[in-house]
Chains A and B, each alone.
Chain A
Amino acid sequence: MNSSTSSFKGRAKKAVGQLLAFVFFLLLFDRLLFLGVRSVEARYYRNISSSSLEDKFAAARARGEYPVLILGTSRTFDGIHPRHIYNQLGVRAFKEAFVGKGPMYSYFFYQEYRRYMGIPRVVIYGIDYFMFNITSERHWMKRFPVDLIDAHYFKAGPSRLLANKRQIDELSNLMLNNLKEQTGGDLNYQIERDWARMESYLGVPSPGKIDEAKPQHFRRQNFAGFPGKEGEYFALLIDQLQKDRVQVMLVGLPEYIGTYWTNRNHSKFRQFFGKFARRRPGVFFYNYDRPERFDLARAEFFIDGGYGFTNSHLSSAGSAILNRMLADDLRQHLGMK
């Protein structure tokens, strides 16, 4: 064996050693940091002051009957308001709609709701174009049995950090939002916790910041079909509501026209929910997210959205119009003339 061969072998050995050491430390720190993130998360959830569902239900029950339950995400939070419904129909509606409350949250929430509040007559479910593409945020899910939730959220994989990157980002965003809230910035989270404020909330005016010009190129979004991330829970919820003989209104909320065109497969979206509702007695699909049904191009009806933006929320002016239309449709499901 000559000296160049042995020096090559020596270098190769060193290289393999360094590579193995790197992989070892990478896996070690990956696990350690992941444990660290989970421990920060656990401590954080313990510390954030959030009212329990029981408190909310107790406060609501003291006020009277709630024949209507409203479920959905932030688009429903800003788009459908119990106060408008009460003003127009004289019935109370309990709203449990907020950012990060996907189908899985709604399913578990309904189990708690029927236990404490009884079975409603009508459930209004605000459906989103992206609803099968979202996961309910973990901090909301902490209100329900933990074992199931942990299994749903945390994934295994060679890198725990990579596999659970989404959960880590969610935690950091939440911590930032919470910090903002503590400095008086984010009122929405305060409303979510305060049941009485939720009942009187009528949305916010449009800040007039929507870019109305249509760019030549903008990112488009496909419709993530059923079941997607939490579609099974959506189906389970509807099954449960059917068993409870609750009338279900699936409500397609209007999107700003730029967002409407960004979300390119509206026909698939309509077809899916249309078919879904037709096959199930007691389930009805009301799609207001259509240019011929709602003036989607009026920027003052929206808080945000635009070309290239996949999400859009109604302003107080926009939601007032939607709620008038919705109240007319809701009337028949409540058996009113």
Chain B
Amino acid sequence: MAPGGSATAGTDRTPPSAEPPSPAPEPVTDLSDLPPALTWRRARAAWPAAVLLLALALWAYAVRHTDVSALDDFGLVTALHPSFWAGLAVLTAGFWLTVRDPARSRLWPGAYVLGLLVMERATQAVLYPTPLYAWAWKHDGVVEHLLTAGELQGAEQVGDMAVYDQWPGFFAAQAALVRLLGVDSAAMYMAWWPLVSSLLLLLPLLLIYRTFTEDRRLIWTALWLFYVANWVGQDYFSPQSVAFALHLGVLAVVLRRYGRTGDRRGQALWTAAIALMAVTIVISHQLTPAMLAATLLVLCLLRRYRDWVPLVTVVSIFLAWCMTAALPFLSAALPEMLRSVGDVGANVSTGYGTTPTGTGAVATSWAARLLSGSVLLLGAVGVWRQRVLRHRALPLLLIALAPLPMLVANSYGSEMIFRVLMFMLPGVAFFAAAALLPTVRTLAGEAREQQTVRSAAPRRRALAAGGPLVALLALTLAFVPSYSGKDRISYFPPEEVELVQRVFDEAGEGSLVVAANRNYPLAYASYGSVDHYWFLEDDRRHVDAIVADPAATLARDMRGVERPGRAYVLFTRGQVANSEMNGQLDGEQLERIRKSVAGSPRFRLVAENSAGSLYELRQDGGAAR
């Protein structure tokens, strides 16, 4: 302060006067008279933005300093720069403090959830130069095939892959998109699909939760928990990702517009909207219409949602498709489907070649199980503790339970348990959030809250505030190993893509590609003209025969290929990772097989790089040698 500050300040006091005060500012000579540049109130208003920016800055720093060139059995978990974890923790803490502050703008929790989606679902797209997941590459192959064929084909042309032509909705749209964007293939953008498909879920989930509560803490915490517990990985470039969003869209419309009001006006148009979404689901995916029908049936058990129109609409469309376009597949698969009904043990089993093996695979697998188990447990606690909510949001509880009977019905290629978990999550996440928020704003809940706050000891109150944050942090951090812990299997470096591309560049019609398993990029490229044999999926005795005498056994397996076709053996690092981490052959065994093929006169080396090697069976089968 200037020495003469007080004297100068005294001159500011103007004498009382009838004249209005002059608008001209008086010269300020004392800095203490200036309004503070950053008031406490302003700082308080700005901190959610500051925390969010800090979290995103830490994430951006992390992705710039993460090296994915040598992933170990923990996948991305050990490769990530520590600042990623710090960013995720800061984001979670910021979300929790923001969402619980009633004075905050309602937009901040949404901004934090978007930040979570970026950190969860965009990290891999930024880090990896190629798209993840052999399944995503397979779907890229289906899109390519549709574009090449220009029509839907049957089993006589494409064998087992005809199933995709009988549920073509997603692939047909992607084929159009590839051409309209003018890109080479869907691989150009499919790495970003997890982010896109997760964003698609945002609106229907918000609507569903907003049907049962106005409490934004509950709504946004449920959304947060849904996203962190949805590690199953069905957000990749797949029909399931879009069908699941539409499934939630139908449920949102039914929950909001089909309660018993007695007013039928406008119902025909709402039914048309449901029908359009149902048609889109039905032409795209096999399982989702069944899940949707089961959920709508369960909702009809409630008096307040006993409107059969949505259920009849969905079932009619589903049956119409099954009886026409999908009939070839269903008629072939029906005996097996009927056999699996009631065989719960087999249906929940994840099958041979899916046993996590090695420290990393086991640890990340347990992280995923603990994450799912914790959210299910939290959901049960929420149902038990929130009596009023349990009554008011009973439809959500039923939505959570409706997928369970599917475990009795079918194994869905050893994936049913994961799909059931995913379809349960919207309901489970709501009650799990309620477990973390004991003061849900219902009338009865408020009265109980006030009583609890008055009577609780300070230590207990601190625990009540800190405990949920710790739980939310643990669940959010557990998402990373659950979702990205197997990236050593899922990631295919550019060299691997280049090597496999070499096969299809020179393989003529009728060629055969032999590999240990199908975990490599472009595995389904040209599936209309090039055949495949994945020997680890064969009978165990035959696998043992291959291990005992690799080159001779594989050459025998491949000798049926006729000109102009060629027979190749492909070894890649992705196959080794998949086999090792899922309890099949280990790296040494596969290397012995490769060396046997490399040293055999029956085969010649076609290409080799850091990601693997490619051999071709000589045209005479090596017989002359």
- A and B together in one complex: no
Chain A positions within 8 Å of B, measured between CB atoms, are: none
Chain B positions within 8 Å of A, measured between CB atoms, are: none
